[in-house]
Homo-oligomer: A and B are copies of this chain.
Amino acid sequence: MRRGHVGRTIGEILAEVDQRLEWAQIRFKEAKESGLKVIGLYCGYIPFELVRAVGAIPVSLCGSDADAIPSAELELPRNFCPLIKSSYGLAITDTCPFFHFADALIGETTCDGKKKVFELLARLRPVHVMQLPYDKNAPGALDQWRSEMKRVSEFLVGVTGIEPTPERLSAEIYYENELRRVLQRIVRTFERPVPSLTWTQMLSVRSLTDFVVDRAPYLALIEELAEAVSVADAAVGDASTSGRMPRVLVTGSPMSPETNKVMRIAEESGALVVAHDACSGTKMFDRLVDEEGDPLDALTRYTLYIPCACMSPNDGRVDLLRSSVSTYGVEGVIDTVWQACHTFNVESVIVQRACREELNVPCLKIETDYSAADEGQLRTRIEAFVEQML
């Protein structure tokens, strides 16, 4: 896989990532004009593979724009998840090009907030809501989720008219796995004493996956990045150390490059963020979908085992935390929870307990929203947290 020659620096490649994020809306406009259907998603429980297999383009509609929140608050409670408020505000004001281009939406029952807001969004677009079982080990859970996969697949066929045949599905699984494999290669840099990337940068790299019409240039780009990172890692060597920068894992509710204030402040406060196991981080690519057997079965298993806080019980969360702490040599955990995100907020009790009783690492829990109002206070708390690990 490695090429002998890497033409561009990591910085140059990351600049292209940012540029592609900026230009993504143009790509979607072109796709729409060429007759392609766009399907808006709000969650990783809905497999991109299935959307691609019916010939449509999946796009994440999770809002990261704080400016869209006041419009949403004219209807929705103020005391509510900023991600949902932002998403809803963008939708009702028609200020998000991706929502604008979406022909239909796939929702899910991952949280009360989204579940109920999909009822309101149904006034704007056709919405299909997937009913997610929360206890993956309960009898019938896998069968039920398999039926939901079948049901959403029928909904999607209704949009595009294209059947997601096993061949098409398998091809999509292989392609998405390719992306996952490359992302897995890239994050190996965070196992090293001195990583060649920051997680803030990695957030953009991963985020771009959610806004891709044509995956080939994206795959080529992240392959180039993986290679550049690997070359940089080799150049730095194993002997280097990051000095006294405590190695931190950021977990909890998902964040975007625009809403990553906690991660950014942690990095600015002298922490080395080496792990981010949220669904904006490794959780969406650290496993591969099974490439053998029935592809819809494989997608059913893969998604049902995502250890999101919506699951109950969610043993996978602590398993993932444990393995991340070990893999990346984590010395402290920051658990970030969006305002009024009850599932992550209550699960934080379990995360903190695991840190304290089993993993023996300090844990800082932060509940925040999209505003900049608490940045000063957050900085004080995060600096103190980093300092205690020195």
* Cβ-defined contact, A349 with B112, below 8 A: no
The stretch from A76-84, A172-180, A229-237 touching chain B is A76-84
* Cα(A346)–Cα(B87), bound, Å: 14
* Cα(A347)–Cα(B141), bound, Å: 28
A332-353 CB mask vs B (1 if < 8 Å, else 0) is: 0000010110110111011000
Assess whether A144 is interfacial by the CB under 8 Å rule. Answer: yes
Q: Give the nearest-CB partner of A109 in chain B.
A: B134
Closest-CB distance, A229 to chain B (whole angstroms): 37
Assess whether A383 is interfacial by the CB under 8 Å rule. Answer: no
* Cβ-defined contact, B76 with A346, below 8 A: yes
Assess whether A367 is interfacial by the CB under 8 Å rule. Answer: yes
**Assembly of this chain: how many copies?**
2
In chain A, positions 305-352 with a C-beta closer than 8 Å to chain B are: 309-310, 312-314, 337, 339-340, 342-343, 345-347, 349-350
Closest-CB distance, A338 to chain B (whole angstroms): 11
| Given contacts A109-B312, A115-B134, A133-B131, A345 and B144 within 8 Å (CB-CB) | no
* Cα(A129)–Cα(B314), bound, Å: 14
Assess whether A111 is interfacial by the CB under 8 Å rule. Answer: yes
In chain A, positions 114-130 with a C-beta closer than 8 Å to chain B are: 115-120, 122, 129
From the candidates B129, B339, B343, B349, name the one contacting A120 in the complex (CB within 8 A): B349
* Cβ-defined contact, B77 with A342, below 8 A: yes
Q: Give the nearest-CB partner of A339 in chain B.
A: B79
| Most chain B CB neighbours (cut-off 10 Å) among A117, A309, A342 | A342
* Cα(A151)–Cα(B135), bound, Å: 13
Interface size on A, residues (CB 8 A): 44
In chain A, positions 290-314 with a C-beta closer than 8 Å to chain B are: 309-310, 312-314
In chain A, positions 133-151 with a C-beta closer than 8 Å to chain B are: 133-135, 138-141, 144, 147, 151
* Cα(A346)–Cα(B138), bound, Å: 29
Chain B residues within an 8 Å CB radius of A350? 119-120
* Cβ-defined contact, A340 with B79, below 8 A: yes
| Most chain B CB neighbours (cut-off 10 Å) among A141, A339, A346, A349 | A346
| Given contacts A109-B134, A144-B140, A147-B140, A116 and B77 within 8 Å (CB-CB) | no
Pairs A-B, 4 closest by C-beta atoms:
A116-B346, A112-B342, A77-B345, A112-B112
